[in-house]
């Protein structure tokens, strides 16, 4: 199977710009044969969306604005891991989430970040309390958003619940949040025995410089593929889901 990581400059938003860029990159990935498309943390609104001086309204998801992406998923039979802010319809609490969109455009699952920082760019977000993998068409996947991957117990829990791979959408440059993130990603893989796929982002116009943030693939506890830089790109790699092996020596990089 072919995986696409959308390594994009999204942190500043606004949402309409990000949505157009996500549609463009998802289409490019699909036409290159991707079956799974993974976005970075808070990809829809932008990681710093509450700090831009714009009106903030966090909707119940999926909001109508997501329809174009859902239609793309259905048109190409994709599984899309879309990261966004969302409001819980019942409690009214807001979460830093990853929606899993299935090949018919349906929402087949969501993970709500459990280890939000509680201030600054994440001060708006309540903490999720549920950690369950999702049965996708090709594999069962666990999602850990950014700092969730720092805590090895989360990786062990997903392994115990039959996850076959861990996906980490992130806004995590080197030197932030507990040191080099690759240490946490490799530990996450070692503790679970699972591959870890990280979709990070780029950009250096915000409070946090993401120009050196890595998107990566970790296998057997070691970094196998990595990409960073200001060039926005769709990063493709092939994975043998039956043998759980990486079929690429490097990312295929499609620039935007």
Per-residue confidence (pLDDT) for residue 179, from 0 to 100: 67
How far apart are alpha carbons 87 and 203 in whole angstroms? 27
Mean pLDDT on 109-114: 97
Give me 56's structure tokens. Answer: 């903030």
Give me 252's structure tokens. Answer: 């295929």
Burial label, 53 (beta-carbon count in 10 A; 0-12, 13-18, 19+): exposed
- Helix, strand, coil in percent for the chain, rounding step 5: 25, 30, 45
How far apart are alpha carbons 95 and 38 in whole angstroms? 18
* Whole-model pTM over 0.85: yes
If one counts every other C-beta atom within 10 angstroms of the C-beta of residue 196, the result is: 27
Cα dihedral: 185, 133, 10, 63 (round 10)? -170
Partnered with residue 95 across adjacent β-strands are: 86, 126
CB 87 within 8 A of CB 59: yes
How far apart are alpha carbons 1 and 61 in whole angstroms? 28
Each residue of 9-60: pLDDT tens digit? 999 999 999 999 999 999 999 999 999 999 999 999 999 999 888 889 999 9
Q: What percent of the chain shows pLDDT beyond 90?
A: 91
Domain 2-255 falls under CATH 3.60.110.10: yes
Per-residue confidence (pLDDT) for residue 208, from 0 to 100: 87
C-alpha gyration radius of the chain: 16
Each residue of 56-104: pLDDT tens digit? 999 999 999 999 999 999 999 999 999 999 999 999 999 999 999 999 9
Per-residue confidence (pLDDT) for residue 176, from 0 to 100: 61
Assign residue 137 a region (left: φ > 0; alpha: ψ between -120 and 50; beta: otherwise).
alpha
- Phi, psi for 36 (deg, rounded to 5): -115, 135
Q: Map out the domains of the chain as residue ranges.
A: 2-255
Give me 181's structure tokens. Answer: 């993130």
Does residue 244 have a pLDDT over 80? yes
């Amino acid at each position: 199977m072919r995986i696409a990581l959308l390594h994009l400059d999204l942190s500043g938003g606004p949402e309409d710009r990000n949505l157009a860029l996500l549609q463009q990159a998802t289409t490019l990935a699909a036409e290159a044969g991707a079956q799974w498309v993974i976005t970075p943390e808070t990809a829809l609104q932008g990681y710093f969306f509450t700090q831009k001086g714009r009106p903030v309204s966090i909707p119940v998801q999926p909001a109508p604005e997501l329809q174009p992406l859902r239609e793309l998923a259905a048109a190409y039979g994709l599984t899309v891991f879309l990261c966004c802010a969302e409001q819980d319809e019942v409690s009214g609490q807001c979460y830093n989430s990853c929606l899993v969109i299935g090949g018919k455009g349906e929402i087949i699952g969501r993970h709500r970040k459990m280890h939000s920082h509680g201030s600054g760019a994440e001060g708006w977000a309540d903490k999720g309390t549920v950690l369950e993998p999702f049965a996708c068409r090709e594999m069962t996947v666990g999602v850990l958003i950014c700092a969730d991957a720092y805590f090895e117990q989360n990786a062990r829990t997903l392994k115990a619940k039959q996850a076959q791979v861990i996906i980490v959408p992130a806004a995590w440059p080197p030197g932030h949040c507990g040191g080099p993130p690759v240490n946490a990603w490799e530990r996450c893989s070692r503790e679970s025995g699972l591959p870890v796929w990280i979709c990070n982002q780029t950009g250096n116009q915000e409070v946090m410089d993401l120009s050196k943030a890595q998107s990566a693939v970790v296998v057997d506890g070691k970094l196998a593929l990595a990409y960073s830089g200001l060039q926005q790109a769709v990063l493709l790699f092939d994975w043998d889901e039956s043998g759980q092996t990486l079929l690429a020596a490097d990312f295929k990089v499609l620039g935007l």
